[in-house]
Amino acid sequence: MLKTISGFDRIGEENAFAVLARATALAAQGRDIINLGIGQPDFRTPDHIVEAAIKALRDGHHGYTPATGILPLREAVAADVEKRTGFAPDPDNVLIVPGGKVTMFMAILMFGEPGAEILYPDPGFPIYRSMIEFTGATPVPIPIREENDFAFSAEETLSLINERTRLIIVNSPANPCGGVTPRAEVEKLVAGLEKHPDVAIMSDEIYAQMTYDGMEHVSLMSFESIRDRLILLDGWSKTYAMTGWRMGYSVWPTELMNKARKLAVNAWSCVNAPAQYAGLAALTGPQDAVHEMVAEFDRRRKVVVDGLNALPGVSCRTPLGAFYAFPNIKATGWKAKPLASALLEDAGVATIGGPDFGILGEGYIRLSYANSTENIRRALERMGDFLSANA
Ligand code: PLP
């Protein structure tokens, strides 16, 4: 028997990939499956970005790059961060990583060990908790509540900090609930964090450009007082419909940057070179496709929310960001995971049960509205028929 480290007894997964595999298998059997499970834009990567990758290969950019990423890309990231947050990071503090997820992997590895506590949102992206458990650190859930429109509560978050707290993970706009934390709450959180200078913060802002109804995204990068211990997580996957390219970036405080670079050198040497040129074209080229995609998500959001609220036993707050709805299904009489599973097997609609995102996820399911309006309408109709027949 091979003896691997004990972290593997605790590491989790992302159930969205298991649901995707099941949905794909059912579709291969000839079933008509509507996938509202996986969180990825249903748009194609814009042509000019694809062309930039092809050109990079033709120009001979097929070798290793610096471990942190090519300089023009890191400069473009710095300029983009400045445009959106008012602060221009030094390109030397920017790390290009193979997908946004890698930043959380690195940050949690950097701070997690037995005895340490790491705060993370619940419901939240499942990998936060999984990786915290892997390191042996204690995961401390920050409750994300429906009655608070799924925004962070500064007071509740700050109340969880103690002398063992090493890292706090925040995420706005958020997966899976679509909540966006308003400016006043972010300011309160930052003011509280100023009193805990030894606690690092990772701000997952991968959905930064997807807010609706005039809601502003407030980046933690815009607050000077915490910047020296802030790790910014962002990337191309959602904004530019590039999930499969595996392109993300992080901005690290100077104190941590060399550690992050060493992890990168140890793990992947550098990110796929042509993909980096594609990422450069994405940031420096026209942004019309991004705006059109977000406008389309906004239209679908209304269809999803209205449709969900018309279903028996279902109520849904209007999400203000990302591309997820997180309806409350408590009055249907179903538990969330059995409902998600029955919707897939019997009604051909893939969703994700709320408990896959944390303890507070019971009573909710997640729907991604990164699918056509027609499919969303068909899915809602099927869900309505299913719930009427199986109350
Ligand atoms: N952070 C959040 C909140 C996400 O929802 C996701 C993807 O679903 C990621 C990070 C990871 O994105 P990537 O595909 O770039 O690794």
Interface confidence, given as ipTM, is 0.99
Both 373 and 298 in a single domain?
A: yes
| Distance in Å, CA 39 to ligand 1 centroid | 8
Q: Is residue 51 part of a domain?
A: no
Task: Give me the residues paired with residue 230 across strands.
Answer: 201
Q: Is residue 1 part of a domain?
A: no
Q: Hey, what are 132's tokens? A: 């915290």
Give the H/E segment covering residue 232: strand 230-235
Q: Is residue 53 part of a domain?
A: no
Q: Which of 227, 252, 284 finishes a domain?
A: 284
What is the rounded average pLDDT for all residues in the chain? Answer: 97
Both 151 and 295 in a single domain?
A: no
Q: Is 100 in the pocket of ligand 1 (CB under 6 A)?
A: yes
DSSP 324-381: EE--B-GGGT--HHHHHHHHHHHH-EE-EEGGGG-GGGTTBEEEE--S-HHHHHHHHH
Q: Is 366 in the pocket of ligand 1 (CB under 6 A)?
A: no
Instruction: Convert the pLDDT of each residue in 364-381 to its tens digit.
Output: 999 999 999 999 999 999
Inform me whether the pLDDT recorded for 246 exceeds 80: yes
Domain containing 185 — which CATH number?
Answer: 3.40.640.10
What are residue 240's phi and psi, to 5 degrees?
-115, 20
Both 97 and 201 in a single domain?
A: yes
Q: Which of 284, 314, 341 finishes a domain?
A: 284
Both 29 and 170 in a single domain?
A: no
- Parent domain of 312: 6-44+288-389
Both 279 and 310 in a single domain?
A: no
Q: What is the pLDDT of residue 257?
A: 98
Q: Which of 264, 284, 304 finishes a domain?
A: 284
Q: Hey, what are 368's tokens? A: 């991604």
Tally of domains in the chain: 2
Q: What is the pLDDT of residue 391?
A: 76
Q: Hey, what are 289's tokens? A: 């496709």
Q: Is residue 302 part of a domain?
A: yes
Q: Is residue 333 part of a domain?
A: yes
Q: Is 243 in the pocket of ligand 1 (CB under 6 A)?
A: yes
- Ligand 1 atom showing the smallest separation from residue 104 Cα: 10
What confidence tier does 38 reach under pLDDT thresholds 50, 70, 90?
A: confident
Q: What is the pLDDT of residue 305?
A: 98
| From 15, 20, 101, 231, mutation site for ligand 1 pocket: most ligand atoms within 8 A of C-beta | 101
The C-alpha atoms of residue 44 and residue 47 are separated, in whole angstroms, by: 8
Instruction: Convert the pLDDT of each residue in 151-207 to its tens digit.
Output: 999 999 999 999 999 999 999 999 999 999 999 999 999 999 999 999 999 999 999
Other CB atoms within 10 A of residue 2 CB: 3
Instruction: Convert the pLDDT of each residue in 108-132 to its tens digit.
Output: 999 999 999 999 999 999 999 999 9
Percent of the chain with pLDDT over 90: 97
| Distance in Å, CA 207 to ligand 1 centroid | 9
- Greater confidence, 40 or 298? 298
The C-alpha atoms of residue 167 and residue 390 are separated, in whole angstroms, by: 44
Q: What is the pLDDT of residue 87?
A: 98
Alpha helices in the chain (DSSP H): 15-28, 47-58, 71-85, 100-111, 126-135, 154-159, 183-193, 254-267, 273-284, 288-309, 336-347, 373-389
